[in-house]
Structure formats: C-alpha cells, structure tokens
Amino acid sequence: MNKSITIKNSLYLLTSMALTALFVQCKPETKPVAKTVKNETILKAPEGFSVAEIGKNLGAVRHLTVAKNGHIYANRSVLKDSTAIIVLKDTNNDGTIDEQQQFSELPGTGIIATDDYLYTSSNSAIFRYPLNDDHEVVDTNAPEKLVDGLIDMGMDNAKPFTIDNDHNLYVTIGSWNDACRDGDAGMMPCTILDSAGGIWKFKTNKLNQTFADGSRYATGLKNSVGIRWNFETNSLFATDHGRGGLHSFYPEVFTQKQDAELPAETLYELKEGDNAGWPETYYDHFKDSRMLAPEYGGDGEQIANKDYINPVVAFPAHLGPNDLLFYTGDMFPDKYKNGAFIAFHNQSAELKKGFFVAFVPFKDGKPSGEWEIFLDNFAGFDLADTTTKGTLKHRPCGLAQGPDGALYVCDDFGGSIFKITY
C-alpha cells in the first residue's frame, strides 16, 4: 500500500474524530418536550395527571374493581335497568370503553376481582362469581353465596369488604344507630355491637356461611365503608364515619360550631380484637385525644381512660370516607407508592370543602406526612363561596387500581366513572 495514502487516511480519520468531538461538546443541550395533559372533566388533579370520564349516567355506582383483563366492574346501591352490577369493557384496547354489560338483581356496595373470582356484596350477603382463564365471569346468572344473614336495618347498611392472602374475608357491618342512643342516653351495654358496629371475619373458600360462622375481628367502628387489606404491611386498614348530633342532643355542652367540626373522621390499622371506641367515645382531632361521649357521661373535656385504639390519621368531621385504596402501581410518581387514597363523600364545615379524593403518604407501612387533596371539584363549584348557587355534580365513592397503574374513581351521585393517569 502507498505509504502517503495511509498517512493521509490516518490524518483524515483523526481530523474527523476531533471535529465530531467538538460538535458533540458544542451541541446545545436539548430538553424533553412537555406533553399536553388532557383533563376532559371538571375535576382538578395535580400537575402531570390526566383525568377522563370513561362512564356516564351509570346510576349509584358505589365501589368498583378492575379485573386483570382490564374490565371495570361497579356495584350499584340502587338498581338501574333492573340490575346492580355494570361492566365496562375496552374490547380493542384502544383506551376507549366500547361495550357495557349488566347483571345481578341485588343492589349493594362491595366488589373485588381476584385471579379466580369476582366477589360482590348485597346489603345482607356476600357472593362470588367464578372467572375463566380470560378473567371473564363464567355465568352471570349463577353466583355462589359465601355469607348470608348479615343484619340490614336500612340505614348505613352497606356491606363493603376486603380479602387477604389467606382466604379470609373481612366485612363491615355498620350501625343503624348513630350513637347507640336510646332516647337521650347511651345503651349500656350497647347491644348493637353484638351484630354491628364493627368488622367481621369469614372465609372466602367456604360456601353458605351464616353470620354465626363468622368472628368479630374488630369492634367500636360505627360505619367503616372504606376497608382494605394492605399487602405491604399484611394488615387490615379501615376508615370510620364519625357520629353526629353533639349540639342537637346536648346543646348545654356543645356549640353549633363544635357540632359542625366534631368528631374527626378516622383511619385505623386494625388487629384482631381491637376496639376503636364507638359509641362510648369519639376522636377529637383538635385535642388529638379520644374523648368520652356525652351519652356516657362526657362533657367535651373528659378524655376516655379505657384501652381503645387511636387512629393513624384523623380528618375533619363529616367528610364521609367511603373508600380506601393503597396505591401499588408504577404509573404514578414515587411519592404515591404504597400511599393511601381515600374517597370523601361529603363536605367539611371546618375546611369549607368536600367531595374530594385525598392522599396520605406512607413509608414503611405508616403515614409519613400530612394528607393532601389529590382530586378536587367533584361538586363542580366552590363550596366556600356562599354567593355561588351551584348544582352538585358528583360525589366520589369508590376507588380501584388498574393493571397498568391507573386510578379509577366512581361517583354514586352523578353516575360517572373517572380514570386518572400520569
């Protein structure tokens, strides 16, 4: 080979490499292009989140679940088109619901899809529907009855439930009596606690159980509509609705303002045998103490001295926590991992806000910071603005997580289902 050609080629290669390096070093830094986030609803979400209304006019959809195939099942507390359960399907995986189905003639609240079954509840019983290998309900006309005979007195009679990894079924049985009151006095003892005002444990692998086949797991909970097994901590968590009527029944002890701001709504981590103190006590989030209820001799200042558990989080009064979900997906930012979403169904005089989904950060299985409002404006107008005469649009009630990590929220007032993505 010609030696001069070889030298020229080497010089050319070195020059090219130098120019390339110079170009790379001088190339201006590029930033990722920001994507437009779509919010197709009136709801307000944190920056980066997209909210879509994927179902409308569905009736009183209370709780919902998403099967592994992406089908969305919601249970209704009031029949619509003579049916209780509605199914939304995206059959071609284009992100849009293109098929709806309905079945079941028993209205209820609870609903959970597992690998093998779709579990549902009426106001007095728990059922399951076998799923096939494609996670479709095998026969919508043939549910298997797990538990029957749960008390239904017409008020706070929903039977939400959750399931652990050991075939245990935890069912809320709420009290129909706000403070276990007989006239102006509290029942002593409160006989309602024998069959309500707590959470009962049954089995998921045994058919035709009765109330007597279950065991009372935790008591002293007036109405725990939000109930969820936390698989990270391997423990049961539940929200609880606080009682009312403090000023109405005891005006000499409680002011109207105190009536509007007490007691706290609460979130508990529960162990078997725990007692959360209802009806003898209520939780005061201003005093950060469990107080003796007036029906049992309390004067608004007397701290309860019995061994009742305290909540892990206390929220303002009368917000009505109606579902609880621990986020385990990978779609949302890291701050949401293993944290708790809570759907609040009512409004707070203290906050002058309501009808929102809150978020509680968790670390190592415990709340790790202040709770915050995650999804707002379900009402559709500013509740704090007394000059506004708005019409209520939605009330968040149920929460579910999709296989892709999306969050779903259903609304039992406007009949909508919302999908939140990031």
DSSP state of 32: P
- Give the H or E element holding residue 8: helix 3-26
What is the torsion angle, in degrees rounded to the nearest 10, for the CA atoms of residue 402, residue 405, residue 406 and residue 412?
50
Pair of tokens at residue 269: 């981590």
Q: Is residue 11 one of the residues assigned to a domain?
A: no
Ramachandran area for residue 330 (φ above 0: left; ψ -120 to 50: alpha; else beta):
alpha
Q: How many CA atoms lie within 13 A of 199 on its CB side?
A: 31
d(CA 411, CA 392): 12
Tell me the pLDDT of the chain (422 aa) as tens digits. 444 444 444 444 444 444 444 333 433 444 444 445 567 799 999 999 999 999 999 999 999 999 999 999 999 999 999 999 999 999 988 888 999 999 999 999 999 999 999 999 999 999 999 999 999 999 999 999 999 999 999 999 999 999 999 999 999 999 999 999 987 777 889 999 999 999 999 999 999 999 999 999 999 999 999 999 999 999 999 999 999 999 999 999 999 999 999 999 999 999 999 999 999 999 999 999 999 999 999 999 999 988 999 999 999 999 999 999 999 999 999 999 999 999 999 999 999 999 999 999 999 999 999 999 999 999 999 999 888 778 999 999 999 999 999 999 999 999 999 999 99
Rg of the chain over CA atoms, in angstroms? 26
- Give the H or E element holding residue 168: strand 168-173
Q: Is residue 404 one of the residues assigned to a domain?
A: yes
- Residues with Cβ < 8 Å from 357, sequence gap 6 or more? 341, 342, 343, 344, 373, 374, 375, 376, 396, 399, 409
**In Å, how far from its chain's centre is CA 174?**
17
d(CA 145, CA 295): 39
Q: How far is CA 421 from CA 46, 51, 52, 329, in A?
A: 11, 7, 9, 11
CATH number for the domain spanning 277: value is 2.120.10
Pair of tokens at residue 391: 């019409």
Q: Is residue 214 one of the residues assigned to a domain?
A: no
- Residues with Cβ < 8 Å from 311, sequence gap 6 or more? 240, 264, 266, 267, 268, 276, 283
Q: Is residue 163 one of the residues assigned to a domain?
A: no
Sign of CA dihedral 156, 163, 341, 284: positive
Q: Is residue 291 one of the residues assigned to a domain?
A: yes
d(CA 355, CA 376): 7
d(CA 204, CA 26): 65
Q: Is residue 345 one of the residues assigned to a domain?
A: yes
Q: Which domain holds residue 275?
A: 33-97+178-189+226-421
244 closest CA partner among 272, 263, 228: 263
375 closest CA partner among 14, 134, 33, 49: 49
Q: Is residue 145 one of the residues assigned to a domain?
A: no
65 closest CA partner among 163, 149, 152, 140: 163
- Residues with Cβ < 8 Å from 187, sequence gap 6 or more? 180, 181, 279
Pair of tokens at residue 413: 């007032």
Q: Is residue 210 one of the residues assigned to a domain?
A: no
What is the pTM for the complete model shown? 0.91
How many distinct structural domains can be found in the chain?
1
